[in-house]
Amino acid sequence: MTQPLRLGIAGLGTVGVGVVRIVQKHADLLEARCGRKIVISAVSARSRSKNRDVDLSDYAWEDDPVKLAARDDVDVYIELMGGSEGPAKASTEAGIAAGKDIVTANKALLAIHGQALAEAAEAEDQVIRFEAAVAGGIPVVKSLTEGLAGNEINRIMGVMNGSCNYILTRMEDAGLSYEAVFDEANQLGYLEADPELDVGGIDAGHKLALLASIAYGTKVNFAGVDLEGIGSVTIEDIHQAADMGYKIKLLGVAQMTGRGLEQRMSPCLVPDTSPLGQLQGGTNMVVLEGDSVGQIVLRGAGAGEGPTASAVMSDVMDIARGLRISTFGQPAIGLREARSAHSAIPAPYYLRMQLLDKPGALGKVAKLLGEAGISIDRMRQYGHDDTAAPVLIVTHKTTRTALNEALEAFESTDVVSGTPVAIRIEAV
């Protein structure tokens, strides 16, 4: 094929500008690797006058991304605006209707509307590619759809939000509270305009739902992701977990169980010697476990201009080469509904509580755990004041249902002060 592949780019923020720079800087390299020129025909953004430190003078400008997506001189519509509704959704639908292939970094759009968009695109023999929507520059979508296509995936696990990993590692390294590091990260621009998308686990939950769809052949079900953010993690939890050989991470886990598809995005303890335990700063890591390949670990930058633009261009290059893969690895019309399973796989848990200084207090707690069918693996008590002492308990494997039963029973005792903290310990 000798005709150039013509791109229309909507959204000229960090990632959009990064894509423009790659096309301009590596024009000859891109052509050599895919056998045809890759050119930009037109662009769109909120402001035409903004200084972006990149030359856009050779490209047509469209104020309306819907019009950009439908232009005759655009073969691939690249949507980099973000958001699950509004212009992002409308322009993507317009691009599909106009016969364009779609490349996007928009995990929210696909987590909410991915099934409908995939069915519409595939009905017209178009493709939707979204490597940049999950874990930045890490090629995890390509790994699942191509490299591991011959495997039954047993589990997906990973740290998929660099901002949360920065906060947790910064808390540990500097001995600072969550509130202090949250404010620092916000001032540095590490958090979304709505920080809850990051610290509430929503952004990472979108990514997990997309990966689970590919891995298990199911319709994307973001509503089925159990979400818990990092706002309740204290510096005491971080220090005391470290004392017992663990690190706390906002960890996404997806696996198919006998009860259905389990999808969790929540703080978990992982061994400090594991790859996930050693992950620092804003880096992402995704662990994939296949029945034939075993466990593979993908680590790299989860955001930023270069890594995310690199992922966008990976998708563009595949389209230029003529590679046509269904959006979620198999035809969207054949994806099945998955029953949601909640904490179906038993696991050990870390418990931290304040025990009042009363005779038999620890015995009462142990008795209530036993009545819920929970046995104690390890226990540690720290220095106390005149009224209470912090106690840490690591349980043997149990279900979250049994644990909740014990936690509710604690409320009726006169020996536990405040609300105990319970964090799952994930085997890695």
| Span 7-46, pLDDT tens digits | 999 999 999 999 999 999 999 999 999 999 999 999 999 9
| pLDDT recorded at residue 213 | 97
Residues in the chain: 428
Determine contact, residues 285/165, Cβ cutoff 8 Å.
no
Mean pLDDT of all residues in 92-118: 97
Q: How far is CA 321 from CA 31, 38, 85, 107, 318, in A?
A: 10, 11, 31, 24, 5
Question: pTM for the complete prediction?
Answer: 0.92
Beta strands in 180-259 (DSSP E): 226-227, 246-257
Across the chain, mean pLDDT equals 93
Residue-wise pLDDT for 364-379, tens only, equals: 899 999 999 999 999 8
Which pLDDT score is estimated for 79? Answer: 98
Main-chain phi, psi angles of 361, to 5 degrees: -60, -45
Indicate the DSSP class of residue 347.
B
Cα distances (Å, whole numbers) of residue 317 to 14, 42, 232, 289, 416: 20, 18, 43, 27, 59
Q: Is 247 a catalytic residue?
A: no
Give one DSSP letter per residue of 136-196, joined into a string: TT--HHHIIIIITTTS-EEEEEEE--HHHHHHHHHHHHHT--HHHHHHHHHHTT-S-SSTH
Q: Which of 273, 160, 136, 277 is nearest to 212 (CA)?
A: 160
Say yes or no to pLDDT of 215 above 80: yes
Confidence category of residue 385, pLDDT binned at 50, 70, 90: low
- What are the distances in angstroms from CA 128 to CA 78, 87, 269, 299, 325? 10, 17, 35, 24, 9
Q: What are phi and psi of 327, to 5 degrees?
A: -50, -50
387, 416 in Cβ contact below 8 A? no
Chain mean position to CA 59: 33
The single residue of 207, 219, 247, 364 carrying the catalytic annotation is 207
Residue 3 — φ and ψ, nearest 5°?
-70, 140
- Calpha distance 8→105 (Å, rounded): 14
- Dihedral of the alpha carbons of 361, 364, 365, 371, in degrees to the nearest 10: 180
Pairing mode of beta strands 101-104, 60-61: unpaired
373: left (phi over 0), alpha (psi -120 to 50) or beta: left
Helix (H, G, I), strand (E, B) or coil at 71: coil
